[in-house]
Chains A and B, each alone.
Chain A
Amino acid sequence: MLQRLSREKQVLIPYVVLIVAIIINAWMQNNFFQGSNLIQLIYTALPLMVASTSQTLVILTGGIDLSTGALMGLVNVIVATTPQLGLVSPLLGLLAGAVCGLIVGVLVGMVRLPSVVITLAIASVETGVALYILPNPGGSVTGSVSALGTPVAIILITILLLGFWWVVRHSRFGASLYAVGANEQSAYVSGVNTLVIELGVYVVAGILTAVAGIILSATAMSGDPLIANSYTLTSIAAVVFGGTALLGGAGGALGSIVSALILTIISGIIFYSGVSSFYQGILQGAILIFSLGIGSMLARKNHQKGGAGL
């Protein structure tokens, strides 16, 4: 274990940064360690945590999902326009996520189109459908959705998310996922049904993204087709920051979840420091590039790997 840690120092980066971010935030905000504040922090980070777990699954197979934000927006709109349906309302959202995931899965796994372009195109369609359902922001969410904002639900979802990742990591499906991401051809030759894995990944990722959209709806309490646009890029940032290789086959969702928390804490720090929000973009971009630069420098000492792939 220790040997592994000293060999792969870069996997520790997110945890070190998390501790530093917590110390800075606690120094600026006196009530940081109060239970209610910590719960609120996790609640704010939760949609990104779930979305980046979804993104991790896709990236592990060597793909990328540029439709995360658009699907979350679509689910948000579905949930916000159907409060009269009660519990069926979030279920409709989950169904939308599964269907969108299946379409992407068929196009990427079966028809063999590149995921970058397909998810970009699907995102356009999803945003269009969301704008068609709800042209202007509005609507309201049902009680069963807003109940997601209670402390018990927040803790429960966090535990479920970590449990979900544990199960995936230790399942046959999880192992095949890594195999497909590392080398699809070899995975197929060694008997992995790559088509089933790719279909499965995109459907599960779609459902997870829908969950993220539903939690976001609980925070927002209303619908807006463009509400989640920033989540596409922040979820990818969280995955990469968390140590998952963009080429697939290496990494895990735990790092992504921690990184999602870090990104949320950093926005909090910027808010509390009273710096003009105009500087937020510069800081976020700079932190991302800087930490990734250090990460890959450490990684490069171990593996001398050529190529600057996508």
Chain B
Amino acid sequence: MIGAQGKNQTAAADTPEITMGWVRARSLLGNSTVLSYLATIGFIVLAMALFPAFRSTRQLLTVVSLASFLGIAASGQTIVVISGGIDLSVAGLITLGDIMTVLLTAGANSRLWLCIVVLLVAAGIGAISGLGIAVFRISPLIMTLGIGTVVQGFILVVTQGTPVGVPAPILVKVIAANPLGIPAMIWFWLAVSIIVVVLLNKTALGREIYAWGSNSLASQFSGVNSIALVVKTYALSAVLSAFVGVLLAGYSAGGFLDIGDPYLLPSVAAVVVGGTSILGGKGGYVGTIAGAIFMTMLSSVLQIMHIADAGREIASGLAIICLLLIYGRQRSVR
């Protein structure tokens, strides 16, 4: 072992450019975003090799367009997790977005603009979460959990527990469209991705979110307005979740009470698989995109293998653990 190290050092002195390349390759492999893309691409290649069904562009586009819903839901989650929190009201807000879109537009194209009201209501709810977290110092986990429960309670009271009507027909038509041969959902996802990536990397707000996530006390001392920042973070996440609800209203052409539930845990999983640290401050949305595709691909593969719910639960749990074993380890105390 020691001998090998000594040899490497001599080699380094002789050929610095090769060593630099090696160092760069190693740091690239240590980068969790790169690893999440390697894992996702590897998984897709494996699936294509094993199942002929995945060897068509159409099938792959279907997987990506299904991943769009999870990807957008996980975009808000990414922002919140980078800020050092977690958003467990994702499911409630997606359902709220779906139900409100259907109730407000009520099958009339002329009322499509009311979708903006849906997003504004969501922003208000997210702001309440943010206020609870920033002003009353309630833990994000509990605050968003409580808000999610309240939102779902309101939905039950308003709908009396039964699915509601149909949304504006034009919304259904837009979601089903296929501009340039690519499903509309993917275009929506692309737009959200660009906005979120620019927001996180190129704006002051984005930098404040990273700073807050890596050390909230330090960023408070450097003059970040803590209340405004946390409120904005959670309001943003709520709006993105509700937007998934609006899109799902068009996709499913109806308002369903549990439409958001399947997105809560996968949204956290997509963020983590995408290499964002659950402790905050590190990561980014680019990785989450791979995470969302990975999670959706996994369930598609299991579906094609005719594996029942039981196997699907086990496989997705094991897959997350395996990916974390590769790149999710925390610093040891030793």
Contact = CB atoms under 8 A, between A and B. Distances in A.
Interface string A106-127: 0100011110111011111111
B132 A293 contact: yes
B104 interface: no
Contacts of A297: 136
A2 to B, nearest CB: 26
Nearest to A194: B333
Interface of B: 84-86, 132-134, 136-143, 145-150, 152-154, 156-157, 160-161, 216-217, 220, 230, 265, 268-269, 272, 278-280, 308-318, 320-321, 324-325, 328-334
A284 interface: yes
B156 to A, nearest CB: 4
Nearest to B273: A117
12 contacts: A114-B279, A117-B324, A121-B269, A128-B315, A128-B317, A246-B139, A279-B153, A282-B157, A285-B146, A285-B148, A308-B137, A308-B140
* Chain A, interface residues (CB within 8 Å), range: 35 or more
Contacts of B325: 111, 113
A300 B135 CA distance: 10
A279 B127 CA distance: 23
Given A114-B278, A125-B317, A292 B136 contact: yes
Contacts of A112: 329-332
B129 to A, nearest CB: 9
B279 A310 contact: yes
Contacts of A114: 278-279, 328, 330
B310 A132 contact: yes
A281 B154 CA distance: 8
Contact of A283 (B141, B153, B280, B318): B153
Contacts of A309: 84, 139, 216
Given A114-B328, A117-B272, A121-B321, A128 B313 contact: yes
Given A128-B312, A132-B314, A309-B84, A185 B138 contact: no
B310 A128 contact: yes
